[in-house]
Amino acid sequence: MSRCRLQIRREPEIAEAWGRLTVSIDNRTVFDLDDAEVKQVSCEPGVATITVTASDGSGFSRRMCLPEGRVLLLSLHEISPVWWRRLLGISRSLDLTEISKGPLVPPDAIPDRTLTQQVWIGHAASEEALSALFVERDGYYSDENAEREGTPDHLALSAFAQVMGQASYDHDFLEYSYAGPGDSLETRFAAHSWVREWAPVLRALLPAQEIEHSNAVVMVGIDRHERFGDHRQIRQPRDLYLPDLRLRYIGEIDHPDHS
């Protein structure tokens, strides 16, 4: 199945007053944009609605064509509003502008199989703090909990599921790692699957300082089915901030499967 990769760059001139900006595609939250940074997500080609929402709830939507087999880079920037918006007291607003559109990968670099994963990276106070996030809760599989399904009293599978706003996920698609000693992602997360494939992708996306201070990585694979399409275990991924654990959602990344 052919894909499209959407990249959105938050321009430096966007004032801090806008706060965190959340980007959604067809009502599905894909990532947050802080400060001047670039985030990307792998998505289905075709016409889609891209929505940008500020911390105060304001925002805008654009219908855009996501080209098949291409990387589309958009600039998110401030603009001076038209006259009728000035009459409403709106002094500034945001817009998206296409910057570039290139091939997804060079033809000779297409791997035999590509994996897409939802990725979080951040810092945990300890390996135990990270592991505790994914421990399956006692009572989740009980008859009593099954009867409470769909109600506020229903017990989520784990703390991670609860923070992500859903009851459960298939943990076969989940992998998380706490960093060991080393001076690179490849050495610090040597036990994590496909690290030599995804590490260069993260280095291209994130500032070196953020990577250096991160000791926790969480990845949830996207299940691809020829008939039913892509299935995402985490339907509305988001950042996670707890007293002893901080994970920032990076988005979806593609990497070769050389297993």
Which DSSP string corresponds to 27-47? TEEEEEE-SS-EEEEEE-SEE
What would the pLDDT profile of 112-151 be if each residue is shown by its tens digit? 578 889 999 999 999 999 999 999 999 998 999 999 988 8
What would the pLDDT profile of 77-117 be if each residue is shown by its tens digit? 887 655 544 555 555 688 888 887 777 755 444 445 788 89
- Reply yes or no on domain 4-108 having CATH 2.60.40: yes
Per the confidence metrics, is the pTM higher than 0.75?
no
Domain map of the chain by residue range?
4-108, 114-256
Q: What is the pLDDT of residue 73?
A: 86
**CB burial string 25-39: b at 16+ within 10 A, e below:** beeebbbbbeeebbb
- Give the pLDDT band (50/70/90) at residue 215: very high
Beta strand pairing call for 70-79 and 93-103: antiparallel
| CA–CA separation, 150 and 230 (whole Å) | 24
Question: Does 235 or 87 have the greater pLDDT score?
Answer: 235
CA 181, 184, 185, 187 torsion: positive or negative?
negative
**Angle, CA of 14, 19 and 23, to the nearest 5°:** 85
